Amino acid sequence: MTTTDKASTRDRLLDAAGELFYRDGVSIGVEALCRSAGVSKRSMYQLFTSKDEVLAASLERRAPEVAAQLTEGLRETATPRERILHIFERTERMSTDPDYLGCPFLAALVELKDPEHPASKVAGIAKQQLQDGFRAEAERGGAPDPEYLARQLMLVYDGASARAGARIETLDGLSTATAAALLDAAGVK
Check: CB of residue 18 under 8 Å from CB of residue 61.
yes
DSSP 133-163: HHHHHHHHTT-SSHHHHHHHHHHHHHHHHHH
- Range(s) of the chain covered by CATH 1.10.10: 1-48
52-89 pLDDT, tens per residue? 999 999 999 999 999 999 999 999 999 999 999 999 99
| Distances in whole angstroms, Cα of residue 30 to Cα of each of 7, 43, 50, 120 | 19, 12, 9, 19
Say whether domain 1-48 belongs to CATH 3.40.50.
no
**What pLDDT is stored for residue 152 in this prediction?**
98
Kindly report the average pLDDT of the chain as a whole number: 95
In contact, 128 and 157? CB cutoff 8 Å: no
Q: Phi/psi zone of residue 56: left (φ > 0), alpha (ψ -120 to 50 degrees), beta?
A: alpha
Strands in 24-171 per DSSP E: none
Q: Are 54 and 138 in contact (CB under 8 A)?
A: no
Model-level pTM greater than 0.85? yes
Q: If you ran DSSP here, which 8-state letter would residue 100 be given? A: -
- What is the structure's pLDDT at 6? 57
- Positive or negative torsion for Cα 31, 7, 119, 149: negative
Superfamily of domain 52-186: Tetracycline Repressor, domain 2 (1.10.357.10)
Q: Do residues 87 and 175 lie in contact, with contact meaning Cβ atoms separated by under 8 Å? A: no
Between CA 72 and CA 154 the distance in angstroms is: 19
Residue 9 confidence (pLDDT) above 60 = yes
How big, in percent rounded to 5, are the helix, strand and coil portions of the chain? 75, 0, 25
Per-residue model confidence (pLDDT) at position 62: 95
Question: Is 34 within 8 Å of 44 (Cβ atoms)?
Answer: yes
What is the rounded CA–CA span in Å between residue 13 and residue 91? 27
3-class DSSP state for residue 6?
helix
CATH 1.10.357.10 segments of the chain: 52-186
